[in-house]
Chain A
Amino acid sequence: AQKVTQAQTEISVVEKEDVTLDCVYETRDTTYYLFWYKQPPSGELVFLIRRNSFDEQNEISGRYSWNFQKSTSSFNFTITASQVVDSAVYFCALSERNNAGNMLTFGGGTRLMVKP
């Protein structure tokens, strides 16, 4: 069965600090997809990134970067020079190729608080 673990329930940093959010997943599938979503205080879920299991290249998008390591089943998310607007709950999610559909299994989320 698929499982996603976000061990950090809450992180607090001061603005401009770098912060890494951890995500560890479990799957028996060789083909799978990983996602990160952001849930700001307003409540909506905002898509950030999608990664498939065959692409272990790290990705950078502005201040955001993602480190995918199959060897450790991790897909970590780093925010560089954090800003107050980054304060949100961040979810890591997994979808397996062998699912009948496209269900996402979410981690418990990490609440990030960025203080000015």
Chain B
Amino acid sequence: DSGVTQTPKHLITATGQRVTLRCSPRSGDLSVYWYQQSLDQGLQFLIQYYNGEERAKGNILERFSAQQFPDLHSELNLSSLELGDSALYFCASSGASAGGGYPGETQYFGPGTRLLVL
């Protein structure tokens, strides 16, 4: 158990809908990351937050947004869902080193949320 929790574990929804995925980082970790794992794209970085602020952005669609709250949990919002958004979405967190969230910190992954868009 990595200590990172994600809810829900599974989500089935229809095209055009909006969903929210939730992540709680390991105790003490200030950085939260979101990744998407799909069959055609593999594992792709979406976005990183550090202590409530956006730190880095990857190939995240405009229909997707994220935030990190004062209690450090994070939410990933996916809207206007398309069939191609079906994937496993991982949250990861990393350690609270000074000015943290920098390269080299080991990221610990949650169990993922499996999203199926019908």
B interface SS class: strand
With A43-B111, A44-B109, A44-B111 given, is the CB distance from A106 to B104 under 8 Å? no
CB of B107 within 8 Å of the partner chain: yes
CB of A87 within 8 Å of the partner chain: no
Tell which of B12-20, B41-49, B66-74 binds the partner.
B41-49
Q: Does A95 lie within 8 Å of B110, measured CB to CB?
A: no
CB distance from A50 to the nearest CB of B (A): 5
Q: Does B42 lie within 8 Å of A44, measured CB to CB?
A: no
Residues of A within 8 A of B33 (CB): 102-104
Closest residue of B by beta carbon distance from A97: B103
CB of B83 within 8 Å of the partner chain: no
CB distance from A8 to the nearest CB of B (A): 15
Q: Give the docked Cα–Cα distance between A31 and B31 (Å).
A: 21
* Contacting residues of chain B (18-46) with chain A, CB-CB under 8 angstroms: 31, 33, 35, 42-45
Closest residue of A by beta carbon distance from B54: A101
Q: Does B103 lie within 8 Å of A32, measured CB to CB?
A: yes
Q: Does B109 lie within 8 Å of A95, measured CB to CB?
A: no
Q: Give the docked Cα–Cα distance between A100 and B107 (Å).
A: 16
Interface flags for A74-97 (1: CB within 8 Å of B; 0: not) read 000000000000000001010111
Contact of A35 (CB < 8 Å), options: B44, B102, B106, B112: B106
CB distance from A90 to the nearest CB of B (A): 12
Q: Does B56 lie within 8 Å of A99, measured CB to CB?
A: yes
Leading 5 A-B pairs by shortest Cβ distance: A101-B56, A45-B109, A106-B43, A101-B55, A103-B45
A-B contact pairs, 27 of them (CB 8 A): A31-B103, A33-B104, A43-B88, A44-B2, A44-B109, A44-B110, A45-B90, A47-B106, A47-B109, A50-B106, A95-B104, A99-B103, A100-B56, A101-B55, A101-B103, A102-B48, A102-B94, A102-B102, A102-B104, A102-B105, A103-B48, A103-B56, A103-B58, A104-B33, A104-B43, A106-B42, A108-B42
